[in-house]
């Protein structure tokens, strides 16, 4: 449990579900659907201080990181951010993390349950590079969501330029930094801004932001908007077999991805290239609508059943203020969108709009066909 959650309980905060990824922070403040509506129409603030923060320093930090991770970061400019992955030798996802380069430090934040392991891996991979890796438990993450996050008194407090675009970052007045993230939910106006601040300033920031009209909200809001936007979460929407293609993590920073296809020299690259150029991922992440009248809900990891056979795995399950119960799921490629599904004792239906288009001409396949004279 975070120190901030202890203080927020006095104003109605309810902690996250037991044994969930969000157990240590506020899940809601008594009105979860009202909090979600506020995120879509005004501005809310969410405590995400359970994320782990790591700092990289040294003149070779970016060129070194480029050799051991999936994103192209050698030319990441000061004040810019990116999403990145660490893969195993078979191209399966081990870590997903955000990084921001600012004033000579590359800041990394990731899921709290993976922070120690990621810091240990990075430290082990330094060898002779001029890089220092340091866990930073003294830093924490707050997230603002909503179309009013950069207007009025909120803008005056944070001093984020109106010209700042996704993945831009800058220093905060009293330490730490802000970072613009891709919008959550279905509307581009639902802006998302992360604040990475000294942990001893968490309560001060919370008080200052609520004083200018930002509504306290819990991670239930974040999860509902994230799921509806088909944005995966490490440890919930991934398992030990997940490859980046299955969860829409392919792409450069300009594409809001975490795997740059025009770089090499990282563990797992062969699998990424082979699937992109020749094959198809075995599963695809889809949005499921669950039967709202059922007495039960599936939980993360439950199998998805079609016609008596397992065709997938349930990821994040959450109640959305407009759509009711929804979930992300990894479903076998080729399962038709109109297939009747069951999971966790309830029926489920695939949202057809979440099925990715599969009409891309693969370079490797095209070359093979040319060699065959087709």
C-beta separation of 300 from 312 below 8 A: no
Cα–Cα distance, 283 to 278 (Å, whole number): 16
Cα–Cα distance, 225 to 372 (Å, whole number): 47
Cα–Cα distance, 224 to 320 (Å, whole number): 5
Torsion sign over Cα 35, 40, 46, 52 = positive
Structure tokens at 354: 């979440």
Band of residue 53 on the pLDDT scale cut at 50, 70, 90: very high
Q: What is the tens place of the pLDDT at every residue in 288-301?
A: 999 999 889 999 99
**What is the reported pLDDT for 366?**
44
Burial of 137-158, coded b for 16+ CB within 10 Å and e otherwise, reads eebbbbbbbbbbbbeeebeebb
C-beta separation of 218 from 29 below 8 A: yes
Give the DSSP H or E segment for 37. helix 32-41
C-beta separation of 82 from 99 below 8 A: yes
Q: Can you tell me which residue has the tokens 């397992």? A: 310
**What is the reported pLDDT for 162?**
87
pLDDT above 70 coverage of the chain, percent:
94
Of 74, 86, 138, residue with least CA distance to 110: 86
Structure tokens at 227: 């799921």
Beta strands in the chain (DSSP E): 14-15, 26-28, 44-47, 52-57, 80-87, 93-102, 105-110, 132-135, 139-145, 169-171, 177-181, 192-198, 215-217, 283-290, 303-306, 309-320, 324-332, 341-343, 346-350
First to last CA, the chain: 62
Q: Can you tell me which residue has the tokens 């079609």? A: 306
Other CB atoms closer than 10 Å to residue 239's CB: what's the count? 16
Is residue 316 predicted with pLDDT exceeding 60?
yes
Is residue 315 predicted with pLDDT exceeding 50?
yes
Of 2, 43, 20, residue with least CA distance to 318: 20
Give the DSSP H or E segment for 158. helix 152-158
Is residue 365 predicted with pLDDT exceeding 80?
no
Is residue 367 predicted with pLDDT exceeding 70?
no
Q: What is the tens place of the pLDDT at every residue in 89-140?
A: 999 999 999 999 999 999 999 999 999 999 999 999 999 999 999 999 999 9
């Amino acid at each position: 449990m975070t120190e901030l959650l202890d203080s927020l309980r006095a104003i109605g905060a309810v902690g996250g579900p037991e044994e969930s990824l969000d157990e240590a922070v506020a899940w809601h403040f008594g009105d979860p659907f009202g909090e979600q509506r506020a995120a879509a129409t005004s501005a809310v603030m969410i405590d995400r201080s359970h994320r782990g923060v790591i700092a990289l320093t040294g003149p070779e930090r970016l060129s070194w990181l480029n050799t051991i991770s999936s994103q192209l970061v050698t030319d990441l400019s000061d004040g810019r951010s990116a999403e990145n992955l660490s893969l195993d030798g078979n191209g399966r996802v081990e870590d997903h993390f955000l990084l921001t380069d600012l004033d000579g430090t590359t800041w990394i934040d990731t899921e709290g349950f993976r922070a120690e392991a990621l810091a240990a891996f990075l430290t082990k991979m330094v060898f002779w590079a001029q890089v220092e890796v340091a866990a930073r438990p003294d830093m924490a993450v707050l997230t603002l969501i909503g179309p009013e996050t950069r207007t009025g008194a909120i803008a005056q407090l944070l001093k984020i330029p109106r010209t700042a675009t996704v993945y831009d970052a800058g220093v905060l007045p009293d330490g730490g930094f802000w970072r613009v993230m891709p919008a959550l939910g279905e509307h581009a106006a639902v802006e998302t801004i992360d604040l990475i601040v000294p942990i001893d300033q968490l309560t001060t920031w919370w008080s200052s932001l609520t004083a200018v009209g930002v509504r306290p909200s819990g991670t239930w809001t974040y999860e509902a908007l994230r799921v509806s936007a088909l944005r995966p979460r490490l440890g919930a929407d991934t398992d030990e077999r997940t490859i980046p293609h299955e969860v829409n993590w392919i792409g450069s920073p300009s594409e809001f991805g975490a795997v740059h296809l025009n770089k090499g020299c990282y563990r797992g690259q062969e699998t990424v290239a082979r699937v992109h150029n020749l094959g198809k991922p075995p599963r695809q992440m889809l949005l499921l609508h669950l039967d709202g009248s059922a007495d039960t809900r599936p939980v993360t990891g439950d199998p998805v059943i079609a016609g008596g056979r397992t065709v997938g795995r349930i990821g994040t399950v959450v109640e959305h203020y407009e759509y009711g119960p929804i979930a992300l799921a990894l479903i076998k490629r080729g399962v038709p969108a109109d297939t009747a599904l069951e999971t966790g004792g309830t029926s489920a239906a695939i949202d057809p709009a979440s099925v990715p288009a599969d009409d891309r001409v693969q370079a490797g396949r095209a070359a093979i066909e040319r060699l065959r004279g087709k």
